[in-house]
């Protein structure tokens, strides 16, 4: 059962994103703000940092493919970007200490990069025509505020689940080596 915790949390976050997406756009004082939940990719970046980059890539590929087919009907967009961000996260933390603050900063920075790449892509294929200023004010800023709140509240829980899983895995690895000898 313990080994299924990470994919199960991933699945729950995948299904929760559109539920939170239904509240968007928010109207505050006559202005509209789009809040885009990015819970899953932030969780996968945490998995990549604290557990295993390759595993995170696989999850990213799987959930990215689901996202592509179910929501946007362009196969290859999320299923490329999710694993790519996991690789980037794994590469960045190679030589620095892995703690909660570092992981949170990396996850949020990569989410900003992610939003930006998506904006460029959708502008390129002509599905959006909003200016960069509108994008920053109406979409990026409110989304990042919501996502950082989410990560600040739940980041430590993610970390403890992932670290416990890594610990279990290492223990069983050591044990199996011990028995094999």
Partner 1 sequence: MFHFFSNKRLILLLLGVILLVALISFSLRDRDNVSAPEQMIKDVVGAGQMVFSVPAQFITGMFDNIDSLLNTYEENKYLKSRLEEFASVQAEVTDLRSENTELKTLVDKEADLRSYNPIQAQVVARNPDQWEEKMIINKGTDDGVSENMAVMTAQGLIGKVTLTTPNTATVELISTQNPNYRVSAMVIGGKKNVFGLIEGYDVERRELLLKRIDADIKLEKGQQVTSSGLGGIFPKGIVIGEITEITIDEFGLTQLVYVKPAADFTLLNHVVIADRVLPEVDGEDNGVIKDDES
Binding residues for partner 1, rule: CB under 8 A, are 11-12, 15-25, 27, 32, 34, 36-37, 66, 68-77, 80, 91, 118-119, 122, 125-130, 134, 139
- Pick 46 or 115: Cβ nearer partner 1: 115
Complex with partner 1: residue 20 or 150, whichever CB lies closer:
20
**Closest distance between partner 1 and the C-beta of residue 145, in Å?**
16
Distance from C-alpha of 129 to C-alpha of 48, rounded to nearest angstrom = 34
Q: Which is nearer to partner 1, 5 or 34 (CB)?
A: 34
Q: Which is nearer to partner 1, 31 or 168 (CB)?
A: 31
Shortest approach of partner 1 to residue 34 CB, angstroms? 5
Instruction: Report, in Å, the least distance between residue 6 CB and partner 1.
Output: 18
Instruction: Tell me which residue of 152, 169, 173 sits closest to 50, measured CA to CA.
Output: 169
Least distance to partner 1 from the beta carbon of 168, Å?
27
Contact 42, 53 (CB under 8 A): no
Q: Which is nearer to partner 1, 36 or 159 (by Cβ)?
A: 36
At its nearest, how many Å lie between partner 1 and the CB of residue 96?
16
Cis peptide, bond prior to residue 29, ω within 30 of zero: no
């Amino acid at each position: 059962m313990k080994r299924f915790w990470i994919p199960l949390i991933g699945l729950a976050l995948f299904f929760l994103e559109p539920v939170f997406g239904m509240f968007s756009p928010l109207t505050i004082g006559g202005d509209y703000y789009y809040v885009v939940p990015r819970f899953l990719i932030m969780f996968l970046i945490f998995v990549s940092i604290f557990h295993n980059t390759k595993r995170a890539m696989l999850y990213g590929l799987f959930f990215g493919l689901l996202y592509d087919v179910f929501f946007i009907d362009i196969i290859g967009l999320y299923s490329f970007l999710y694993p790519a961000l996991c690789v980037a996260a794994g590469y960045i933390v190679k030589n620095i200490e892995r703690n909660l603050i570092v992981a949170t900063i990396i996850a949020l920075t990569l989410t900003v990069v992610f939003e930006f790449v998506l904006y460029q892509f959708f502008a390129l294929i002509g599905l959006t025509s909003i200016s960069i200023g509108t994008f920053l004010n109406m979409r990026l800023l409110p989304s990042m505020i919501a996502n950082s709140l989410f990560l600040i509240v739940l980041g430590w829980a993610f970390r403890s689940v992932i670290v416990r899983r890594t610990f279990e895995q290492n223990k069983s690895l050591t044990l199996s080596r011990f028995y094999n000898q």
